[in-house]
């Protein structure tokens, strides 16, 4: 019988006849999660977490080889630090080895290249089993076995192994060589940094009928892909941009649906260096390959300002262009202040998704935007999209070069007309924002502007319901 590769059925039929449950040295002390009396997890924004795993382990006097099982598969072993909380004196670390080569049928076969295995066959009619010894020659693209009188490929039956090599573990394990003065149970704490744990803030808001207030709920979305579980963990989150030597790989994002009102008492925050620390007020379990959401904050009836914004460009102030756009989109923004009941706390960066109820009372999604880390009392500004019923036509009505022969002494004067159209059944106010190049001055205008910044002119134009409003202005630009 010849096979070019190891099939799934063959892998499933492998028999691991081992003398011990898992590979350990005779003098190895094994610590499992059953020894754990507490675990603390601090997760940072950038796919990084600090684990503090406290266990009670019995040690002998003198040299100990401690196998600390069920650590994160993405542990950064150079950051691991083991402390003896019971008897720190006379406790010395000598060596640490992170064993992440995990036990699988394929890995076991690889480790047995050049070694003997037992091949077990069952008679198809009688069911009688026979055993035959073979040497594993290769596992590349299939299994090659050498019997006493022949060579076969594939797995002609079930395989039995005499043991599990010391280099294979069923779970990620940190093996620590240490010297201990006092024998007996010891309280040990292993701390380390790991990838595979991340968090982000997600916010869900609902606008009221007239778009002047919203209810806001904040959620922390946790993702554990570290290869380990953290039962009943003390959970803390650090919001801020830490400087790191290496780049982190971002985790895939998932879309959160409309969530219910959150319990604002779930998280408490405090300052930590130049960052903010959020602490969950109860233990929680982070299962392996799990996404979990925990309430961060909740605020009701938050005052909101809605804005329609038409933004121009500065290129058409230095040349002749004529028509500059028809049915131009007008952006829709909402903003609120991070203060008041339920707010007034540092908001971690994340995405705010906005909903609004339709005439049937069903919440409909109306837009989303990303916010950066936002201190208290700062303004949160969100772009939700472009207005459907509010548009603009812009054109240049005049252009003159008044003076200058080079780019450093040109003087231009140009005039513009912006017609704003409103198909809505209620009046709206549109902010027209024009970036002005060079040294500019307004020559004439149909409505007084404000100088929002050194290079920006703004107008607040009221547009009647199902009507239009026209803004005209002439500006002189010097270089």
* Tens digits of residue pLDDT in 414-460: 999 999 999 999 999 999 999 999 999 999 999 999 999 999 999 99
Strand order in 439-445's β-sheet? 439-445, 467-478, 411-422, 379-403, 323-337, 305-311, 428-435, 456-463, 450-453
Question: H or E stretch including 470?
Answer: strand 467-478
Q: For residues 431 and 327, state if they share a domain.
A: yes
Q: For residues 455 and 318, state if they share a domain.
A: yes
Least confident of 49-63, 195-209, 256-270: 256-270
> 156 pLDDT band (50/70/90 cuts)?
confident
pTM over 0.85: no
| Domain final residue, candidates 282, 303, 324 | 303
Task: Determine the 3-state secondary structure of 7 from DSSP.
Answer: coil
The domain in which residue 89 lies consists of 28-102+169-194
Contacts of 375 (CB under 8 A, 6+ apart): 338, 346
Q: For residues 188 and 209, state if they share a domain.
A: no
pLDDT at 262 over 50: no
Question: Which tokens in the block code for residue 293?
Answer: 């959401």
- Model pLDDT, residue 266: 64
Cβ–Cβ < 8 Å for 49, 43: yes
Q: For residues 125 and 80, state if they share a domain.
A: no
Q: For residues 322 and 287, state if they share a domain.
A: no
Q: Within a domain: residue 108?
A: no
Question: Strand 92-99 and strand 173-180: pairing?
Answer: antiparallel
Q: Within a domain: residue 87?
A: yes
Q: Within a domain: residue 417?
A: yes
Q: For residues 203 and 283, state if they share a domain.
A: yes
Give the separation between CA 92 and CA 107, rounded to whole angstroms: 34
Q: Within a domain: residue 359?
A: no
Q: What is the rounded average pLDDT for all residues in the chain? A: 87
Give the separation between CA 139 and CA 154, rounded to whole angstroms: 9
Cβ–Cβ < 8 Å for 56, 87: no
pLDDT at 20 over 90: no
- Model pLDDT, residue 14: 40
Q: Within a domain: residue 436?
A: yes
Cβ–Cβ < 8 Å for 357, 214: no
Q: Within a domain: residue 150?
A: yes
> The CATH number of the domain where 35 resides is what?
2.60.40
Q: Within a domain: residue 353?
A: no
Q: For residues 272 and 205, state if they share a domain.
A: yes
Q: For residues 177 and 323, state if they share a domain.
A: no
The tally of domains found in the chain comes to 4
Q: For residues 210 and 296, state if they share a domain.
A: yes
Q: For residues 436 and 388, state if they share a domain.
A: yes
- Model pLDDT, residue 244: 66
> 413 pLDDT band (50/70/90 cuts)?
very high
- Model pLDDT, residue 105: 86
pLDDT at 116 over 90: yes
Least confident of 4-18, 165-179, 295-309: 4-18
Q: For residues 229 and 177, state if they share a domain.
A: no
- Model pLDDT, residue 364: 96
Count the Cβ atoms, other than its own, within 10 Å of residue 154.
17
- Model pLDDT, residue 26: 55
DSSP 107: H
Give the separation between CA 84 and CA 56, rounded to whole angstroms: 10
More confident call, 345 vs 445 = 445
Surface-to-core class of residue 349, CB atoms within 10 Å of its CB (0-12 exposed, 13-18 middle, 19+ buried):
middle
Closest listed residue to residue 414, CA positions, set 317, 322, 323? 317
Q: For residues 334 and 256, state if they share a domain.
A: no
pLDDT at 81 over 70: yes
Q: Within a domain: residue 22?
A: no
Closest listed residue to residue 300, CA positions, set 334, 335, 262? 262
- Model pLDDT, residue 16: 36
pLDDT at 295 over 80: yes
């Amino acid at each position: 019988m010849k096979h070019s590769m190891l099939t799934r059925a063959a892998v499933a039929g492998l028999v691991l006849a081992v003398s011990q449950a898992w590979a350990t040295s005779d003098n190895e002390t094994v610590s499992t999660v059953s020894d754990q009396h507490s675990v603390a997890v601090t997760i940072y924004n950038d796919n990084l977490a600090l684990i503090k795993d406290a266990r009670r382990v019995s040690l002998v006097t003198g040299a100990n080889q401690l196998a600390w099982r069920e650590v994160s598969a993405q542990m950064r072993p150079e950051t691991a630090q083991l402390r003896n909380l019971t008897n720190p004196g006379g406790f010395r670390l000598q060596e640490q080895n992170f064993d992440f080569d995990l036990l699988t049928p394929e890995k076991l076969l690889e480790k047995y290249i050049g070694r003997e295995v037992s091949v077990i066959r069952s008679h198809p009619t009688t069911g009688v089993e026979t055993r035959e010894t073979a040497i594993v020659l290769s596992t590349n693209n299939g299994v090659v076995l050498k019997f006493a009188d022949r060579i076969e490929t594939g797995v002609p039956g079930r395989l039995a192994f005499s043991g599990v090599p010391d280099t294979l573990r069923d779970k990620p394990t940190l093996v620590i060589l240490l010297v201990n003065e006092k024998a007996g149970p010891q309280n040990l704490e292993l701390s380390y940094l790991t990838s595979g744990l991340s968090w982000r803030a997600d916010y869900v808001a609902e606008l009221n009928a007239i778009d002047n207030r919203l209810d806001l709920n904040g959620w922390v979305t946790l993702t554990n892909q570290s290869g380990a579980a953290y039962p009943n963990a003390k959970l803390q989150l650090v919001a801020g941009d830490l400087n790191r030597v290496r780049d982190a790989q971002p985790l895939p994002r998932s879309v959160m649906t409309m969530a219910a009102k959150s319990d604002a008492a779930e998280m408490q925050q405090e300052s930590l260096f130049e960052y903010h620390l959020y602490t969950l007020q109860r233990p929680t379990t982070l299962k392996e390959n799990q996404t979990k959401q925990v309430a961060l904050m909740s605020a009701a009836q938050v005052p909101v300002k809605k804005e329609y914004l038409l933004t121009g460009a500065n290129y058409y102030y230095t040349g002749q262009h004529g028509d500059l756009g028809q049915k131009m989109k007008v952006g829709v923004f909402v903003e609120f202040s991070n203060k008041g009941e339920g707010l007034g706390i540092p908001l971690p960066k994340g995405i705010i998704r906005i909903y609004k109820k339709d005439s049937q009372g069903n919440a409909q999604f109306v837009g989303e935007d990303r916010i950066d880390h936002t201190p208290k009392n700062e303004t949160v500004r969100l772009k939700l999209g472009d207005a459907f019923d509010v548009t603009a036509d812009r054109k240049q009505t005049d252009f003159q070069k008044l003076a200058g022969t080079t780019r450093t002494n040109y003087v231009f004067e140009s005039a513009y007309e912006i017609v704003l159209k409103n198909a809505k059944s209620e009046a709206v106010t549109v902010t027209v924002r024009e970036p002005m190049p060079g040294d500019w001055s307004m020559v004439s205008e149909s409505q007084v502007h404000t100088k929002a910044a050194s290079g920006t002119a703004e107008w607040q134009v009221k547009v009647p319901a199902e009507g239009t409003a026209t803004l005209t202005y002439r500006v002189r630009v010097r270089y």
